[in-house]
Amino acid sequence: MRSADVRRHAATPLTAPLYPLRAARFTDREYLNVVYRTDPQALRAVVPEPLEIDEPLVRFEVMKMGDADGFGPYTECGQVVPVRFDGEHGEYLHAMYLDHFGATAAGRELSAYPKAIGSPALAVEQGALAGTLDWGSQRVATATMAYKWQPLAREEARSQIAVPTFAVKIVPGYQGDLRVCDLTRTEITDITVKEAWTGPARLQLFAHVMAPLADLPVLEIVSASHIVTDLTLAPMRPVYDFLTAG
């Protein structure tokens, strides 16, 4: 393989990359969202400047992908934080856990998603929508919501999941230094809301050193939603360089 051929690849193994180099289209992407109030000091400790926090809120989400281009079905969950950057309201992606290595690698390498391997699940059980996250044999999170309790306006559902999202992109150098350390921005496009519901919910987080979701404790449940959509994820772009910031 010639040098020019190597340069045409953006992922390894060179002969069998894990993901396609294009925007991913998701069909029947199902969300369970639980927004809760947390400790302000704990939240400020994990959200990097220059992002600003208006209220100490966190959204715990479980996403079941009915079908994703290049990956097929898988499940993902994590925590996101409502923030502002340069006057624009959005969400900061704090931590994400997936049961699909290819989607995990693509999120980290091709974009800036803070993805790690875990065992999330989303299912309906006796009138409750239940979302869980396990790390190995240990339970990390359990969220439950009354199933299809009350319709949610489609525009409200769209506004919940179509906000801009921010994440930190880090590319380490070979000697332990940093080659890239950016705040990045992306957004969801071509979104179709197929179903949208709201209702009562509960959320439990359990302390785990490798998945420290419980470091942002649940003080009060604010809202919950169950949304099914088709959508496309736009590419990330850098909006702030931590390496040159004062």
Residues with active-site annotation: 115
Give the pairing of strands 88-98 and 115-117. parallel
Q: Are the C-beta atoms of 172 and 156 separated by less than 8 Å?
A: no
- Block residue for tokens 């910031």: 245
* Closest C-alpha among 110, 106, 34, 31 to residue 72: 106
In the chain the first and final C-alpha atoms are separated, in Å, by 43
Phi, psi dihedral angles at 204 (to 5 degrees): -120, 135
Q: Are the C-beta atoms of 93 and 114 separated by less than 8 Å?
A: yes
* Closest C-alpha among 69, 64, 58, 61 to residue 228: 64
Give residues with Cβ within 8 angstroms of 104, minimum separation 6: 98, 115, 116, 117
Q: Cα–Cα distance between 215 and 219 in angstroms, integer? A: 12
Which of helix, strand or coil describes residue 40?
Answer: helix
